[in-house]
Chain A
Amino acid sequence: MTEPVGGGRPLIGPRLIEHSLLFVTGKGGVGKTTIAAALAIHAAAAGKRVLACEVDAKGTLAAAFEAGPLGFEPRPVHPGIDAMAMDTEDSLREYLRLYVHLPLLARIGPLARTFDFVADAAPGVKEILTVGKVCYEVREEHYDLVVVDAAASGHIAGQLSAPWTINDLVQVGLVRDQTRWMTDILADPAQTGVVVVTTAEELPVVETLDLLELLGATVPVAVAAVIVNRVLPELFTRVDEELFAALRTPAAVGALAAAGGAQAGDVMQVLDAAALAVALRRERAGNLAMLQERLRPGLGMVLVPELFARSHGKRAVMQVAEALSEELS
């Protein structure tokens, strides 16, 4: 039996939105952005002032709110929610404006080029400008909750541990002084939590377990929740499944076709579709059981059902938010 993974003492269940800062991560394709947006909507509905922040500048968070392109300056996208897109260059500008009172700043025309270079050369600079900006928003208390649509699971550990990495590498200088208050916010499970989003498919589940292990071992930020997205509905009980198998025999298909005035082939396809649904559900149920078993006790899974939504726009996100609210309350 392997050690349960996922450390810390986080705020869980209904208390999830009492955090000040939530990093939402997960393997690509599991619906990380949708869940981040739904979490923000859920928190706003509970009366929180929320900032939703997109880190990967792909425009998917903007699409989730159907809000047009987002900029570095937060703007309202939904009652109670402002949204912004991270731009590390703007973040650097803001940082320099706030902390480095250099008159010659005006003269740094080609900041972009210089910045690109520094960011490539000095490890963690882009990451710390991202994490630093959201921590800054938390410290200034402009919002009750900052929800970050963070890096995917392959990069989240690097992103979150940037302040610690920089601390190790940089011996003196402003940056080092700045990392201390960031690590204070990040390492406090009552303020900051990681939300890992997955689906019940095999690869995302395996990657989630790997990620929880990695985070537990290398990043002092608590995991607050594991949200399983798009959980397929259970079609039949065990007894009904036997009946379903009987319905797929040629005699039964024939009887159904005759009674309904339909082609036997069409009836068979309808039954095949259900068989596919059952097979998919069964495979995933096994993965969920494995995930559940390996999670640290107390860190429950939050299951969000597959909604078979017509669109992927804001309407679908609202439906997910509703389902999420139900699961969290």
Chain B
Amino acid sequence: MATTTLEQLLSAKEVVVTCGAGGVGKTTTAAALATMAALHLGGRVLVLTIDPARRLADALGLEGIGNEERRVGPKAFAAAGLKPRGELWAAMLDTKASWDDLIRQHAPDPRTRDAILANPLYDNITARFVQSHDYIAMERLHELHASGRYDLIVVDTPPSRNALDFLDAPDRMEEFFGGRLLRWLTAPMRNRVVGAASRPFLTIADRVLGARFLQDIAEFFTLMQSMEKGFVDRARSVSALMADARTAFCVVTTLETAPAREAAFFVAELRRRGLPLGAVIVNKALPEWLLDAGPSAVAARFCDAPGPLAAAVRDVVGAPKGRVRRVLAEVGESFANYAVVAAREAEQRAELATGADVLVTVPVLDEPVNDLAGLVRLGRCCWR
């Protein structure tokens, strides 16, 4: 039987990765999926989130806990009138703390560990720069999955500059450690013999960046090289896990032009890489009945000829005809405005529909999602 709902999809997976453009509700969607899975599928479900809004963090009991996984207790569910079959756990990715843990855990000896943590480049590379974020998210996922503590892990991906950068992070790390360039750069430190091939590079780098800086870099990467094998091995496992049948990607989008274009790109890119696209989740969609002929005709009457309608209803509502007219015209115009947007959205949805087996739509919600009940409200819109 073909998988047609998120419930079916999630019941068969161990890792679900949500990806999509910024601002489409990716983090909230990831939290909602995990909540629904804990509620209906049972087992231990973890949502690994990157940067939740404060109120969502509050709702999940994540405020201030950083890297450590924490259970969203039965009390929180009870307060929302819910009785989950399984357990919901949540963790937030703290890039800096994760790097520190990684170094502490895998450094070959205390001297190397301390030298790395004290290197002037270490903080900058780990805390500020985007790819380190991507990489550490993958490391963390690997660690959590390998621990076997969870039946399902829902991962919210970092807001990447380029859509699927995070997927390249393991490969890049492997390339990086295996690459000739690292050997070129670290060569002067090791034996002071510089091959002919690296000379132009070093000459330029020296002129542009200064020798001291190069030395800092060289030292840092020489130290990091002592952990090469571990990095490369884990990077390979993560890449394998991403392509595994136990993993599914959920592309989250809205129907606005730019995010929808990016979503279409994600879908194509996942296919090109042979990665399993599980579902496309459309968020914040306007109601489709905005395009129906019946209400459209009524709205047109409200705009064009509100007079007779106002006359018919003024006694019922007990207001002067002029005011009723004005309000009806306003209502009609608003409908027409939103219908324009809905028409644009319908086109985008039709394009996206060709991409995935599971395409679900979450309507625009008239209040923000900031607690467990809100997550469930969102989740119910797209679960079955």
Interface assignment of A48: CB less than 8 Å from any CB of chain B: no
Contact assessment for A270 and B299 in the assembled complex, using a CB-CB cutoff below 8 Å:
yes
Interface digits, B67-107 against A, CB 8 Å rule (1 contact, 0 not)? 00000000000000000000000000000000000000000
Task: Flag whether A3 is at the interface (Cβ < 8 A).
Answer: no
Complex contacts, A249 vs chain B, CB 8 Å? 316-317
B227 at the interface (CB under 8 A from A): no
A-B contact pairs, 9 of them (CB 8 A): A58-B162, A155-B130, A174-B208, A174-B210, A233-B334, A252-B313, A266-B297, A269-B294, A269-B295
Binds A, one of B6-14, B137-145, B196-204, B234-242: B196-204
**A108 x B335 contact (CB < 8 A):** no
Alpha-carbon separation in the docked complex, A279 to B383 (Å): 25
Min Cβ gap A262→B in Å is: 5
Contact of B54 among A113, A152, A206, A280 (CB under 8 A): A206
For the complex, give the distance between the alpha carbons of A262 and B334 in Å: 19
Q: Smallest CB-CB separation from A241: which chain B residue?
A: B327
The answer to the question of A170 belonging to the interface, with a C-beta cut-off of 8 Å to chain B, is yes
A243 CB–B CB distance under 8 Å: yes
Q: Report A230-267 CB contacts with B as 1/0, cut-off 8 Å.
A: 00010110011001101101011001101110110111
Q: Select from chain B the residue with minimum beta-carbon distance to A171.
A: B212
Complex contact A262–B294 (CB within 8 A): yes
Nearest residue, chain A, Cβ from B172: A120
A33 to B261, CA, bound (A): 14
A169 to chain B: which residues have CB within 8 Å? Answer: 120-121, 124, 213, 216
Q: Answer whether A170 and B210 are a contact pair too, CB < 8 Å, given A259-B308, A267-B298, A312-B257.
A: yes
Decide if A273 touches B287 in the complex (CB within 8 Å). Answer: yes
Q: Does A172 contact B (CB under 8 A)?
A: yes
Closest to A121 in B: B217
A73 interface residue, CB < 8 Å from B? Answer: no
B208 contacts across to A, CB distance below 8 A: 96, 100, 173-175
B 319-336 binary contact with A (CB < 8 Å = 1; else 0): 100011011101110110
Contact among A114, A171, A271 with B201 in the assembled complex (CB-CB below 8 Å): A114
- Report the Cα distance A283→B364, complex, angstroms: 13
Contact yes or no, B129 A123, CB < 8 A: yes
Name which of B18-26, B35-43, B272-280, B351-359 contacts chain A: B18-26
CA distance A231 to B201 in the complex (A): 52
B109 at the interface (CB under 8 A from A): no
- B115 CB-CB contact with A under 8 Å: no
Nearest-neighbour CB distance to chain B for A163, whole angstroms, equals: 14
B58-66, B146-154, B243-251, B337-345: which lies at the interface: B337-345
Residues of A within 8 A of B51 (CB): 154
Given contacts A29-B24, A114-B201, A269-B292, contact A120 B53 (CB under 8 A): no
CB–CB A27/B22 < 8 A: yes
Q: Cα distance A47–B125 when bound, in Å?
A: 43
What total of chain B residues lie within 8 Å of the partner, measured CB to CB?
86
Q: Does A104 contact B200, Cβ atoms closer than 8 Å?
A: yes
Of the candidates B124, B212, B289, B334, the one whose C-beta lies within 8 Å of that of A124 is B124
Q: B159–A262 contact, CB under 8 A?
A: no
Chain A: which residue is nearest B217 at the CB level?
A121
Contacts of A273 in B (CB 8 A): 287, 290, 295, 299, 331, 334-335, 338
B209 within 8 A of A: yes
With A123-B128, A277-B334 already in contact, the answer to whether A56 and B161 are too (CB < 8 A) is yes
When the two chains form their complex, are residues A155 and B207 in contact, meaning their CB atoms are under 8 A apart? no
Query: Is the beta-carbon distance between A280 and B364 smaller than 8 angstroms?
Result: yes
Q: Which residues of B contact A309 (CB under 8 A)?
A: 340
Does B108 count as interface, using CB distance less than 8 angstroms?
no
* Chain A hits for B121, CB < 8 A: 122-123, 169
CB-nearest residue of chain A relative to B133?
A154
Beta-carbon contacts under 8 Å, B267-318 to A:
287, 289-290, 292, 294-295, 297-299, 301-302, 308-309, 311-313, 316-318
Contacts known (A28-B21, A240-B327, A283-B367); A255 close to B213, Cβ less than 8 A? no
With a CB–CB cut-off of 8 A, which chain A residues contact B128?
123-124, 158, 165
B31 at the interface (CB under 8 A from A): no
Interface secondary structure of B, over-half rule: helix
Q: Across the two chains, which residue of chain B brings its CB closest to A29?
A: B23
Main SS at interface, chain A: helix
A176 to B212, alpha carbons, bound, how many Å? 12
Cα–Cα distance between A308 and B23 once the two chains are bound (Å): 19
Q: In the assembled complex, which residues on chain A have CB atoms less than 8 Å from the CB atom of B330?
A: 235-236, 240, 274
Is B157 interfacial (CB 8 A cutoff)? no
Residues in B neighbouring A33, C-beta threshold 8 A: 258
Inter-chain CA distance A100–B209, complex, in Å, is 12
The distance in angstroms between the C-alpha atoms of A244 and B107, with both chains bound, is: 68
**B53 x A255 contact (CB < 8 A):** no
Would you call A203 an interface residue if the criterion is a C-beta within 8 Å of the partner chain's C-beta atoms? yes
Interface of chain B residues 172 through 226 with chain A (CB within 8 A): 172, 176, 179, 181-182, 185, 200-201, 203-213, 216-217, 221
A204 in the interface, Cβ–Cβ < 8 Å? yes
Whether A118 is near chain B, meaning CB under 8 Å from some CB there, is yes
B122 to chain A, nearest CB (A): 10
B327 CB, min distance to chain A CBs, angstroms:
5
Q: Is B319 a contact of A246 with CB atoms below 8 Å?
A: yes
A122 contacts B331, C-beta separation under 8 Å:
no
Identify which of B207, B302, B312 contacts A258 (C-beta below 8 A). Answer: B312
Give the residues in chain B near A259, CB-CB below 8 Å. Answer: 308-309, 311-313
Query: From B173, which residue of chain A is reached at the shortest CB distance?
Result: A120
Flag if B22 contacts A102 (CB, 8 Å).
Answer: no
Tell me if B361 counts as interface (CB < 8 A to partner A).
no
Q: Which residues of B contact A233 (CB under 8 A)?
A: 334, 337
Q: Tell me whether A187 is interfacial, beta carbon within 8 Å.
A: no
A-chain residues with CB within 8 Å of residue B21 when the two chains form the complex: 28-29
